[in-house]
Structure 1
Amino acid sequence: MATYTLTNAVPLSPSLSKSWHRDIGRVVEQALVPHCSKKDHLYLLAGAIPSRARVKGKLSVPETLWLAACCDDPEGWSLGIVKTTNDDSSFADLTVRELEKELLVGVHLFKGSCGEDNQSQEKTRAILQAVSQIRSGEQVRASDSQDATERGLVRRVAGIIAAPFIKLLELLIYVFVELVKFVFYFLWLVIKRVCGTVLDGVCNLWNGVVSYLKNITMVLISIPYDVGRVIVNIFMGFLQIVEDVASLTYRILRIPVGFVLHLAAFPYHSICAIPSVLKDMANGIGGTFSLVIDATATILHGFCYLAGHIVKRF
């Protein structure tokens, strides 16, 4: 039943396991639990009906999955749900007694069939209606899933067909963007060069104007200074002329007086110089004789010294 040889779980494919647990979870949460007033009196049994197919001759492959539910309270109910493994969209409801007939002979899932004879028909119909709604929703989702799969296939085919055109469009867009960037870059360079030239011209013009104004200002400031210096030079020149005239006049007037004085003083200086001249002559003559005497004495002394030295040698 729920346990097979060499495994403690029902062997299911991933998709079937996912859909089974999803469907049973929704049935329990949306149909079974809300209609059982005593939640702790809701009993669930799950299992599988094996098929004749086996894996390696040992592991049975399930043919049908089933769920049995029993709500043991005064308004109790019981329900069975089966799902075939070869059809993910199959989802059927039946009574517990009908489910027991599908299983091995003599199998009883719940004691007394969970009071099936005294069950609330109203609760049972409500549960079956909820299960039917869940089953309808699953079918719609399965159809939507199939449609989505088909649409996905169409999209993939369309994507494969449109890929070259998309690449070409991307290339054209890239080329267009690069051209736009190049145009803007070229315009930016032109504007930069023009603005640079204009700014250089403005700067040069400004520097020229400033230099011109500076020179004019310096010239205007230097005019009073130059005028004053010219006036001072003229006055100093006039004083120099006056000084030169006075000096020349003094020298002209001074020449005759000096000449007369020198001429008058010549005899006096000449007479006064005679004693000095005679004295100098006497001193010269005396010095000459003294020099002759000294030279003679020196020669004689030398001869005497030489003669004495010769005598001593012999």
Structure 2
Amino acid sequence: MRLFPWDVSFRYKEWRQQLYRMNELLLSVLQGMWWRWRAPRVMALSNGGRHGMNKIDDPHSNLAEVISEAEAITSVNSLGSRQALNTDYLDSDYRSGQLYPFSLSSDLQMATFTLTNSAPMTQSFQERWHMNLNSLMDRALTPQCGSGEDLYILTGTVPSDFKVNDKVAVPEFVWLAACCAVPGGGWAMGFVKHTRNSDIIEDVMVKDLQKLLPFNPQLFQNNCGETEQDTEKMKKILEVVNQVQDEERTVQSQESSSPVSSARSKRSAPSPPEASEGSGSFLGKLMGLIATPFIKLFQLIYYLVVAILKNIVYLLWCVTKQVINGIESCLYRLGSATVSYFMAIGEELVSIPWKVLKVTVRVIRAILRILCCLLKAVCRVLSIPVRVLVDVAAFPMYTMGAVPIVCKDIALGLGGTVSLLFDTAFGTLGGLFQVVFSVFKRIGYQVTFENSGEL
């Protein structure tokens, strides 16, 4: 069980069903012990355990935890100054009722019999409220939250200006908020029931329920994971809620029709015709016999017409009320959607100048960066020595002046190469001629010598 600052909440456990039969067996005993268990509702837990508690009416009281009201009156100072007593409900149709019935809780004493779980209720309202909660818990809330381990319940009231015996404030309506904290498949749902007899339980969103409460509190952290809620499970819960509402309307119609039928039966019993004194004539009796069936027929028609008119008026009243409630709900939702739409548009319109300013600042920053880069480049250019700049500027002139010299050197090289080739060719030819000449010279010398011997 998780306790919250200003309301009571209960963690709905799976093994509640195992205790359900035992709770029903103990129901009669618990009803008799109801007022004897008022002492824990007087107390609030402190740092230590159960016996170290601070009393609401008398913080310095050393009484034990379980004590009857009769014993506490003589021992506790100013008992009843800050909480309701049995005497506050005398001569009234109200009694202290539980917002969350103990039959649905696993901790019978500490969980449900506390001050924060009690409120003035009539018997009929308490029966209908508990019937609604039992139906919702068994058929909708627990089945749609796994085993119920992650189901959290908050209950509370909103007080009205009416007080019982000018002491105990009667709630204007009671409410219940449920949060299924299953990761990735959770949901949150709220329920409201006004204390008027003709009102039925209504389903609301948790954020809408918070707006109905004083000071607009936040019931669950992050609205019970509003962005990750399972819409399919919420649709199934709403289907069961519609069934519970139809069942309650049927019960109300049956309860409202039963007094009408009983009154009709009393009225439909005609009183025996009383004969006037002294009318013993045959003509008077004959007229009475003739008129009696017509009188009864007119009475029957009158009762039927009255009953039909009553039922038609009641039906029209119910239809009108449902239409008005539907129109109010539609107008409220339309107004909420319109306000949300205009708020979103307003936020966007307000944010446009800011966004334009941000873009302008970014453009100016980019221009400043470009100018900074240009200045850096100019500074680097200016930081180069003048001699290097002169050499770079004179390089084309030196290049153009060196072209004739290079061409001359190339021409001299080519001329030397051609001259060398001619020298090589002429030298080779001269050598060949020299060899041929020397060979012919030898041959001619020998021939001449031989010819001279012959002579």
Q: TM-score range by the shorter chain?
A: 0.3 to 0.5
Q: Which has the larger radius of gyration?
A: 1
TM-score, normalised with respect to structure 2? 0.33
